[in-house]
Amino acid sequence: MGSLFLQKGVLVWLFLFSLRFICGTTAQGTVFIDGKIAIGRIDKHFICATLDWWPPEKCDYGTCAWDHSSFLNLDLNNIIFLNAIKAFSPLKIRLGGTLQDKVIYQTEDHKQPCVSFVRNTTEMFSFTPGCLPLSRWDELNAFFNKSGASIIFGLNALYGRSVHPDGLSVGAWDPSNAESLIRYTVKKGYDIHGWELGNELSGSGVGTRVAADQYASDTIALDKIVQDAYKNSETKPLVLAPGGFFDEGWFREVVNKAGASFDVATHHIYNLGPGRDEHLLEKILDPSYLDGEADTFNKLQNILKTSDSSVVAWVGEAGGAYNSGRNHVTNAFAFSFWYLDQLGMSAAYDTKTYCRQTLIGGNYGLLNTTTFVPNPDYYSALLWHRLMGRNVLATSFSGTKKIRAYAHCAKQSQGITLLLINLDGNTTIHARVDFNGTMLHRRKHRHHHNHRKSSIKLPRSSKIASNTREEYHLTAKDGNLQSQTMLLNGNALIVDSSGNIPTFEPIYVNSTEAITVAPFSIVFVHIPYVLLPACS
């Protein structure tokens, strides 16, 4: 046992040693953290992912990337799929997407045949209306209960409307079909976290749009249905709206007119442009481009702060690059730069939950569409979920602009967790942490160990010295940003033969050491020995 421990220690020491001498330049930098007060507070379960309606015939730019990943045809018996969801305990899953407004729900009072989506290029979104069979709804809810998922369901907000040639949907929403599904769901005792009205109908819309005053009225109608359907239930699901792209005037009008009738304002993000864009990698690695989305977060936060409502903000769908993403970019290691930066930035603007497009499906899934094996972003999401606590700390980095820095109070433990993203492929950063004048309280040193060899990896059961931090270094296999294999502290993250999600083992580093951030790498750092007022 002793020799095994020694071997592990040597391997970790070699890993850290190699980080310091990677080819290229080195630079110093300082992470400034203001720990006096939290600047945001995320939901206990911040990470969310989506499942979509797209049939296998959905194709973009000559590529058909969806296969059987729709929640109408997804293999619910796949063990990797089950384990991937259970690892979050729970994972929020938003069921919805472009075709949701063309769905008819088969319910006990709906007698028409339940037909599938059929590709037809003359139709809006190139598909005829489709149907959700009650039997499939039962199967899905049995699976969600088994996996412990927390479900948000997007309702068919175009039901009963007519679409004018100019793209405006006119008339009030007919809630009868949705109400039947909601009441059936309540009767069966299925646990739904939230009901969301429509998909991408805000502002100028996608395919079609609904005027803000009409949408506000429809949201009020949905809230009345939910209140009545759940009047005998202990808990009431959230009402979410509008599930579309941010339009400042449109969102402000809906919040002002219907803010008392819904809980969450959801908006979508595809800020990198179309999946066919051959410059996606360049955008992902450009700090100024990444900064562009901050304007949306800021404006929505201001609308909610200045309203009389208690509505909070979620990102309801974010795939980065629209029309299914881009293979070997949005499902590769490089995309974790964009994704984790989005999680950090959105949380800093008090966004409560962030739903990634998709859990599976297209070229931007957290899981591979055909094998269900996790892509790199799955592991990024799971590490965030396990390490980043609810309270968000004001964080900045002094040095290169290529470092993105975010910090939260640690999750389920003392201290803080720091996230550092290095967008520079040539420079290793040695970062120190400065708490910006905050009065610090350090955990008392109750155990004394010799930590001159600061990088030795200790077993979980060992007593770790109180001046030791945990580090999780994420890099691409063979240094290839378009690799779909992620390394954690130099070891590939791979599902085992039984479909089990790998464990995350940190390396332990003495607090006197600077944090080493290798070129094109991501580091989560759990610092347990610093106790900040914002985390008390």
Residues annotated as catalytic are 200, 317
Checking DSSP bridges between strand 103-105 and strand 162-163, what pairing results, if any? unpaired
| Four-point Cα dihedral 4, 464, 522, 314, nearest 10 | 130
Q: Is 323 left (phi over 0), alpha (psi -120 to 50) or beta?
A: left
Residue 446's CB is within 10 A of a number of other CB atoms, namely 8
Give me the residues paired with residue 418 across strands: 407, 525
What are 163's two structure tokens?
């679409």
Give me the residues paired with residue 130 across strands: 103
Q: Is 300 left (phi over 0), alpha (psi -120 to 50) or beta?
A: alpha
- Angle between the N-to-C axes of helices 212-229 and 248-258, in degrees from 0 to 180, rounded to the nearest 10: 40
Q: What CA–CA distance (Å, rounded) separates 478 from 515?
A: 22
**Phi, psi (degrees; rounded to nearest 5) at 476:** -90, 145
Give me the residues paired with residue 48 across strands: 92, 355
Q: Which long-range contacts (CB under 8 A, 24 or more apart) does 228-236 make?
A: 229/179, 229/182, 229/183, 229/186, 230/186, 233/186
E strand or H helix that includes residue 312: strand 312-318
Q: Which residues contact 108 (CB under 8 A, 6 or more apart)?
A: 134, 180, 184
Contact 207, 124 (CB under 8 A): yes
Checking DSSP bridges between strand 515-517 and strand 427-434, what pairing results, if any? antiparallel
DSSP 476: E
Q: End-to-end alpha-carbon separation of the chain, Å?
A: 39
Residue 533's CB is within 10 A of a number of other CB atoms, namely 13
Residue 10's CB is within 10 A of a number of other CB atoms, namely 14
Q: What CA–CA distance (Å, rounded) separates 177 from 183?
A: 10
Taking each continuous run of H as one helix and of E as one strand, the counts in the chain are 11, 28
Closest residue by Cα to residue 429 from 34, 15, 32, 30: 30
E strand or H helix that includes residue 388: strand 388-398
- Angle between the N-to-C axes of helices 176-188 and 134-147, in degrees from 0 to 180, rounded to the nearest 10: 50
Contact 430, 27 (CB under 8 A): yes
Q: What CA–CA distance (Å, rounded) separates 443 from 356?
A: 36
